[in-house]
Amino acid sequence: MTLTKAFDPSALVAALKSTGVADAEKLVNDALPVVFDWLNSSVSMAVPAPYGMIVSTVLSELESKALAALNVSEGKI
């Protein structure tokens, strides 16, 4: 995937549409927070210390940036 800016939700929507996802906008808006919740929960269970804390920190930052980008473009993707 080629991006012009990091965490661009419109690029994610376009990529999903190219794979045949019919309502990619709704999927991204509804599923992205759930996916991050799943990832955070999984990391806390499966990744041993001290790596789990490192992964959780990185994942939290990624989640923050991705959801902020989604909120900025909400209704525009």
Which DSSP string corresponds to 16-66?
HHHTT-TTHHHHHHHHHHHHHHHHHHHHHHHSPTTHHHHHHHHHHHHHHHH
Tens of each residue's pLDDT in the chain, 77 residues: 889 999 999 999 999 999 999 999 999 999 999 999 999 999 989 999 899 999 999 999 999 999 999 888 765 55
Amino acid letter, 58: V
Report the pLDDT value the prediction gives residue 38, as an integer from 0 to 100.
Answer: 94
What letters, b where the CB count within 10 A reaches 16 and e where it falls short, cover 29-51?
Answer: beebeeebeeeeeebeeeeeeee
Report the pLDDT value the prediction gives residue 74, as an integer from 0 to 100.
Answer: 66
